[in-house]
Amino acid sequence: MISQLPLTLCVDLYGCPNRCTHCWLGHMPNRDMGPEADAWIVSQFKPYFDRITFYSWLREPDFCADYRGRWERDKALSTGAPPERFELASFWRLVRDPDYVNFLKELGVPAVQLTFFGTEQTTDRCVGRRGSFRELLQATDILLEHEISPRWQLFLTEENRQEALELLHLSQSLELSSRCEAFGGRFRFFVHGGSCDGENRKRYSSMIQKGHIPELLIPYWLNYEQLHSEAEYCALWQGESSHVVPHNHKEIVIYVSNRFDLYYNFTHMRPEWRIGNLQTDPIEELVRRIVEEDTPALRAAREITLGELTERYGSASSARLFEAEDYKQFLLNQHLERMGNDAHN
Ligand code: SF4
């Protein structure tokens, strides 16, 4: 069986220097997968997919000393479309390796996203490394010096509303827009609440509430008008008979953990979403589960309606704001977790 869909493999070969409180993937220790892991993983899937795109990272890009060689190897391992950059880079490396920005420049990277959580103390705490905030500012300068546009994103919560405004003012006082325009680039500042997967689930209680977003920040929240509170979704989806079943349309994206566990890219990498293990499960069976979307999580998703999810797990008195798809996923994850807990009790 050769799948008609192309396969993208994102492998956690090197890990991540950060431990962000908003990490939607969930925290995992960094672990060496061994020198042959990349080729071996691709060889497992090759008989079933004639178009494979290989990424050696799923957390921090370029968190590998030989990032140039690594980029070439990722391209060489790919049998389908070559890997892309997605305007992502490592700010950790940007401030430690003077040649790294030249590499980004050579690849034609036009912009790089940098994530803040507030001002200095909050950002350092939420990235999980002291000095992160200053590194982000230093990375901004390095990018500008090399005519690459920085893009600042901030996760907005009940706790950092004031700091978010301070960060916006900081970007203005640093004249980031005009410095980008000077070389034909574009500075972007944007805020959002983040999904409620992975580590971010733990921050549910501090999620921003309707009416609490500072007026000045509203223009910086993309699709703000499409946001609703939990209470509004509970009313909107009462009796709704559709199901929340994530699905691969044009390609299949698989995350490979550093313990060779496989996951879809639908939500966090928690046990209930695990497809199987590449080292211990037969590859034919893994590919069948992947292509047929036949996993316990997806089977459970098909058996409960959105109306039932909302009734069981929604909070009809909550003003916390969500994007619709994020809230659906949040409800489904609560259900899967509850099922897992019940099974263990
Ligand atoms: S959000 Fe990104 S940078 Fe932060 S811990 Fe997760 S993978 Fe690393």
Question: Per-residue pLDDT averaged across 307-333, rounded?
Answer: 96
| 271 and 312 within one domain | no
Of 25, 30, 195, the residue with max ligand 1 atoms within 8 A of its CB, to mutate for a pocket test, comes to 25
| 132 and 196 within one domain | yes
Sheet with 188-192, edge to edge strand ranges: 111-116, 149-155, 188-192
Task: Give residue 174's Cα distance to chain centre.
Answer: 28
| 308 and 257 within one domain | no
Q: 69 lies in a domain? A: yes
- Does the pLDDT of residue 8 top 80, yes or no? yes
Closest Cα to atom 6 of ligand 1: 23
Residues with CB under 6 A from ligand 1: 16, 18-20, 23, 25, 59-60
Range of the domain at 324: 226-243+304-345
User: Coil, strand or helix: which one is 63?
Assistant: coil
Spatial contact of 5 and 45, defined as CB atoms under 8 Å apart = no
Q: What percent of the chain has pLDDT over 90?
A: 91
Closest Cα to atom 4 of ligand 1: 20
Q: What is the pLDDT of residues 118-177, one digit of tens each?
A: 999 999 999 999 999 999 999 999 999 999 999 999 999 999 999 999 999 999 999 999
pLDDT value for 345? 59
In 3D space, the residue among 149, 315, 305, 320 whose CA is nearest the CA of residue 240 turns out to be 305
Rounded to 5°, the CA angle 237-238-244 comes to: 45
In this structure, how many other beta carbons lie within 10 angstroms of the beta carbon of residue 323? 18
User: How many domains does the structure of the chain reveal?
Assistant: 3
Copy the structure tokens of residue 278.
């590449």
| 25 and 129 within one domain | no
- Does the pLDDT of residue 1 top 90, yes or no? no
- Does the pLDDT of residue 216 top 80, yes or no? yes
Using 50, 70 and 90 to split pLDDT, how confident is the model at 253?
very high
Q: How far is the CA of 260 from the centre of ligand 1 (A)?
A: 19
Task: Give residue 83's Cα distance to chain centre.
Answer: 17
Question: Per-residue pLDDT averaged across 207-212, rounded?
Answer: 94
Who contacts 284 (Cβ-Cβ below 8 Å, separation ≥6)? Answer: none
| 120 and 196 within one domain | yes
- Does the pLDDT of residue 107 top 70, yes or no? yes
